[in-house]
């Protein structure tokens, strides 16, 4: 028997899969169930997985599959997350002075992992720094990537993607909660996130705990 919150989350995931073909993000699940943190979502997901109502699909981002629905669920529960303004297409925002406005999603650690914060801010970026695709910006915090020329306070310009090659500098999301900027390497079922500073140690995680959220496309730096 499922708890009320477990059932609500299962129905929400099922509705999103049927509507979009993609499972919702942990942030969307947190908002839909009015939870205080994503750790509560993790607990609910684990409970549903243990009871074989859902399963995680390996090597795919945001990949959940609903295996069964409880008999008690007849009419669907309508769980709709708070409205989120649509992200403007990057190419539509190229101005006459060849700048592009991209979303600025808070600070990301170039040292130890910290939670990547969403925000409603944006950043004007020279179009020449960006190639094709959808991009966003993150403010760098820490000095573990200084030997790669990435310093505290820089703005990392990131192309959204869910995969990258070994040796790429990526935004890596760990346990769906913490994000960091590091070199990506894969080794025997694990992911190694390497710093570019001899004072820091590489970070190693099982591959299923790490999800690539983007690849470094460029940098902006302010001089005060």
Residues linked to residue 12 through DSSP beta bridges, in sequence order: none
Q: Is the pLDDT of residue 64 over 80?
A: yes
Q: Does 157 share its domain with 111? A: yes
Instruction: Give dist(CA 47, CA 151) in Å, integer.
Output: 41
Which one is catalytic: 141, 182, 188, 215? 182
31 and 111 both lie in a single domain: no
Query: Treating both helix axes as pointing N-terminal to C-terminal, what angle do 38-50 and 4-20 enclose, rounded to 10 degrees?
Result: 90
189 lies in some domain: yes
Q: Do 56 and 116 fall into the same domain?
A: no
Is the domain of 62 the same as that of 95?
no
Task: Please give the DSSP secondary-structure letter assigned to residue 138.
Answer: E
- Inform me whether the pLDDT recorded for 86 exceeds 60: no
What is the pTM (predicted TM-score) of this model? Answer: 0.55
CATH number of 40's domain: 1.10.10.10
216 and 132 both lie in a single domain? yes
- 72 in any annotated domain: no
Q: What pLDDT is stored for residue 75 in this prediction?
A: 41
Q: Does position 93 have pLDDT exceeding 80, yes or no?
A: no
Average pLDDT over residues 157-182: 89
Of 6-20, 150-164, 184-198, give the lowest mean pLDDT range.
6-20
Cβ 158 vs Cβ 215: under 8 Å: yes
CA distance 29 to 8: 10
Judgement on whether residues 136 and 189 belong to the same structural domain of the protein: yes
Judgement on whether residues 107 and 210 belong to the same structural domain of the protein: yes
In a domain, 77, yes or no: no
* Domain-embedded: residue 39: yes
124 among known catalytic residues: no
Specify whether the CB–CB gap between 66 and 14 falls below 8 A. Answer: yes
Query: Is 182 assigned a catalytic role?
Result: yes
Residues 210 and 138 in one domain: yes
Give the gyration radius of the chain's Cα atoms.
Answer: 19
Question: What pLDDT, on the 0 to 100 scale, is given for residue 81?
Answer: 47
| Residue that has been written with the tokens 């993000």 in this structure | 25
> Residues 23, 30, 38, 144: which is the catalytic one?
144
d(Cα 13, Cα 172) in Å, to the nearest integer? 24
The confidence score (pLDDT) of residue 182 equals 94
41 and 123 together in one domain: no
73: in domain: no
The SS3 call for residue 12 is helix
Handedness of CA 72, 77, 81, 87 (dihedral sign): positive
Count the domains in the chain: 2
Domain range for residue 40?
A: 4-66
pLDDT, mean over the chain: 79
- 98 vs 108 pLDDT, higher one: 108
E strand or H helix at 48: helix 38-50
76 within domain boundaries: no
98 with 39, same domain: the answer is: no
Pick the closest to residue 202 from 112, 139, 108 (CA basis). Answer: 112
């Amino acid at each position: 028997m499922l708890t009320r919150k477990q059932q609500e989350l299962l129905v929400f995931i099922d509705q999103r899969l049927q509507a979009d073909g993609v499972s919702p993000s942990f942030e969307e699940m947190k908002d839909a169930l009015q939870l205080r943190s994503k750790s509560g979502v993790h607990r609910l997901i684990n409970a549903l997985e243990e009871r074989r109502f859902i399963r995680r699909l390996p090597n795919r981002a945001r990949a959940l599959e609903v295996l069964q629905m409880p008999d008690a669920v007849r009419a669907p529960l309508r769980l709709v997350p708070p409205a989120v303004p649509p992200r403007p297409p990057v190419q539509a925002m190229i101005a006459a002075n060849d700048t592009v406005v991209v979303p600025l999603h808070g600070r990301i650690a170039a040292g130890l992992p910290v939670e990547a914060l969403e925000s409603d801010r944006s950043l004007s970026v020279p179009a020449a720094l960006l190639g094709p695709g959808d991009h966003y910006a993150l403010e760098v915090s820490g000095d573990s990537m200084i030997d790669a020329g990435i310093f505290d306070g820089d703005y990392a310009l990131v192309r959204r993607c869910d995969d990258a090659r070994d040796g790429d500098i990526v935004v890596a999301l760990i346990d769906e909660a913490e994000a960091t900027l590091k070199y990506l390497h894969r080794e025997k079922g694990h992911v190694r996130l390497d710093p570019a500073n001899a004072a820091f140690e590489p970070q190693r995680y099982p591959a299923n705990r790490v999800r690539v959220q983007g690849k470094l496309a460029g940098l902006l730096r302010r001089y005060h």
